[in-house]
Amino acid sequence: MKSSNEHFIKVTENALTPLSSEQKVVLNRRGNQLFNEGFISEAQRIFITTGYSDGLTRVGDYYAAQKNTLEALRMYCLAKNKRKSEPIIDSLVQLIRVLIDTEIKGVENV
């Protein structure tokens, strides 16, 4: 069975080797270039590595525009962008409430 961590928000608590400010700047510039050229997943990997919140938010916006809401939410959470993540979380809460009410009351009564 193949194991994948793609659905986890964070795979490790801390980076194994911290990046210097200079390394982050170089990587973020490369990530921005890749993003602008349409290489979203490559840019995403860089932004996750560096913790670049603006880049993560832009990747989240890309996924939101593609109707990939859960991946957008993951990027917004990594970016610590509550303004963008909370509306998605609220809509998921509403969906779960409807599902629970449907289960409790039965489909006919909802």
Q: How many domains does the chain have?
A: 1
Contact (Cβ atoms closer than 8 angstroms) between residue 75 and residue 66: no
- Prediction pTM value: 0.78
Does some domain include residue 16? no
Q: Which domain holds residue 83?
A: 21-109
- List, as own/partner pairs, every contact residues 85-90 make where C-beta atoms lie below 8 angstroms and the sequence separation is at least 24, other chains included: none
Distances (CA, A) of 105 to 36, 47, 109: 49, 45, 6
Does some domain include residue 74? yes
Q: Longest C-alpha distance within the chain, in Å?
A: 61
Q: What is the CATH number of the domain that holds 85?
A: 1.25.40
> Would you give per-residue pLDDT tens digits along the chain (110 residues)?
444 555 555 544 455 678 999 999 999 999 999 999 999 999 999 999 999 999 999 999 999 999 999 999 999 999 999 999 999 999 999 999 999 998 888 766 55
